[in-house]
């Protein structure tokens, strides 16, 4: 018998073109091809940590779509609800390393297969079969039909008592002048477990300190709100604020750190760990992710991540 899923997720995975040299892309001749995308990275992260994760959605029926499908399958993610659409392409994005290590990304994803996903075609029983359904603000920003899909999926999960894990992941380029708060606020209010970077907490909750986040939480459904930054993270719950420092590491590529962090925190929760331990595992996964080029290459195995957590001195600030 197939083991039931612990986490399901849905979103847009893409092919990622990583330049092998810094500077404006017009002068870059060689790239390394990777795969990535927030929810895809979380699914891979969870699978590496030993959990059963399912990834649903649409990709183009093209070379890149088949590459991503094969990659996810190879990582042990359930792809039984991932469809290949013959009418639209798989999205692609390029990274660009500008002066002083500043990263810029260029998306080629408008009109992609994923942007055409609709709530009506989802297998709800599948998506709501786990302990968590994980969603992000990226999918909500892709198109009007995707926004509708995420809103209705969150409502359906709320109704069925399946916990919604939501990473706000504000990507300004996808909002095209729209106010991200208007799109994301209804989702933020209905999530059970909420992840934000400091900038996202400032934008969506009106501040980054524990007190302000606690105040915002009182008007929301979330039992737990996690705010993260390179140096560590804190969680706000009924019992108060729990903070854990991160792991100092040599940074190679920060893209995907937040996704690794989410995978680690969800893994902690699924193991029945307390909030402090879950934050430590999340920090360990985020730290591993930034030490390697590419969105998913640095995601740790269970052995690696647990080794880091056990060796941690438990520094609290
Ligand atoms: N330079 C770093 N050194 C060690 N750990 C890091 C570093 N950067 C990130 N991390 C770990 O990853 C977590 C998430 O990082 P961050 O807050 O930068 O994510 P993010 O901004 O959501 O990234 P993205 O959305 O691009 O994946 C941090 O809380 C920390 O645990
Ligand atoms: Mg993020």
Which tens digits make up the pLDDT trace of 84-112? 999 999 999 999 998 777 889 999 999 99
* Residues bordering ligand 2, an ion, CB closer than 5 Å: 169, 258
Return the SS3 of 102.
Answer: coil
Q: What is the pLDDT of residue 317?
A: 41
Is the sign of the CA dihedral 73, 94, 30, 287 positive or negative?
negative
pLDDT, position 209: 96
Q: What pLDDT sits at residue 1?
A: 56
Q: Cα dist. 286→36, 159, 206 in Å?
A: 15, 32, 25
CATH number of 7-311, picked from 3.40.50.1000, 3.40.50.720, 3.40.47.10, 3.40.1190.20: 3.40.1190.20
CA of 206 to the centre of ligand 2 (A): 17
> Residue ranges of the alpha helices (H) in the chain?
38-48, 63-74, 124-127, 137-142, 144-160, 180-190, 198-205, 210-217, 257-270, 275-290, 302-311
| 259 assigned to active site | yes
Residues facing residue 83 across a β-bridge: 58
pLDDT number for residue 312 = 65
Domain residue ranges of the chain, discontinuous segments joined by + = 7-311
Residue of minimum CA distance from atom 25 in ligand 1: 258
- Which residues, 6 or more positions from 232, have their beta carbon under 8 angstroms from its beta carbon? 243, 244, 245, 246, 279, 283, 317
Name the stretches of the chain with pLDDT < 50. 314-317
pLDDT at residue 236, rounded to an integer:
98
Cα separation, 13 vs 57, in Å, equals 9
Which residue's CA is the nearest one to ligand 1's atom 22? Answer: 258
Look up the pTM and report it: 0.96
Element (H, E) at 94: strand 92-97
How far apart are the CA of 17 and the centre of ligand 1, in A?
21
CB of residue 115 inside a 6 A radius of ligand 1: no
pLDDT of residue 99: 79
What is the structure's pLDDT at 253?
85
Residue pair 204/213 in contact by the 8 Å Cβ criterion: no
Kindly state if the Cβ of 81 falls inside 6 Å of ligand 1. no
Beginning with the edge strand found earlier in the chain, give each strand of the sheet holding 163-167 in spatial order: 82-85, 53-60, 7-10, 132-136, 163-167, 193-197, 224-229, 232-237, 240-245
């Amino acid at each position: 018998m197939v083991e039931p899923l612990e986490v399901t997720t849905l979103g847009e995975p893409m092919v990622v073109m990583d330049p092998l040299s810094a500077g404006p892309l017009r002068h870059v001749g060689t790239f390394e091809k990777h795969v990535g995308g927030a929810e895809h990275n979380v699914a891979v992260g969870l699978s590496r940590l030993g959990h059963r994760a399912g990834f649903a959605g649409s990709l183009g029926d093209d070379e890149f779509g088949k590459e991503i499908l094969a990659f996810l399958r190879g990582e042990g993610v359930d792809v039984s609800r991932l469809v290949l659409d013959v009418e639209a392409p798989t999205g692609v994005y390029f990274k660009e390393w500008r002066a002083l290590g500043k990263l810029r990304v260029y998306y080629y994803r408008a009109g992609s297969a994923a942007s055409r996903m609709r709530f009506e075609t989802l297998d709800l029983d599948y998506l709501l079969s786990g302990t968590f359904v994980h969603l992000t603000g990226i999918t909500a920003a892709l198109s009007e039909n995707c926004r509708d899909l995420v809103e209705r999926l969150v409502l359906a999960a709320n109704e069925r008592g399946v916990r919604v894990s939501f990473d706000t992941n504000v990507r300004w380029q996808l909002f095209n002048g729209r106010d991200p708060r208007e799109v994301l606020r209804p989702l933020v209010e209905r999530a059970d477990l909420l992840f934000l970077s400091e900038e996202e907490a400032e934008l969506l909750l009106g501040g980054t300190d524990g007190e302000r986040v606690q105040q915002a939480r009182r008007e929301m459904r979330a039992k737990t709100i996690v705010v993260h930054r390179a140096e560590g993270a804190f969680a706000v719950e009924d019992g108060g604020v729990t903070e854990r420092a991160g792991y100092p590491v040599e940074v190679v590529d920060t893209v995907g750190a937040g996704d690794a962090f989410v995978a680690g925190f969800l893994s902690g929760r699924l193991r029945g760990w307390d909030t402090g331990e879950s934050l430590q595992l999340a920090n360990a996964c985020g730290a591993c992710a930034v030490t390697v080029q590419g969105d998913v290459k640095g995601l740790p195995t269970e052995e690696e991540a647990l080794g880091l957590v056990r060796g941690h001195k438990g520094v609290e600030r």
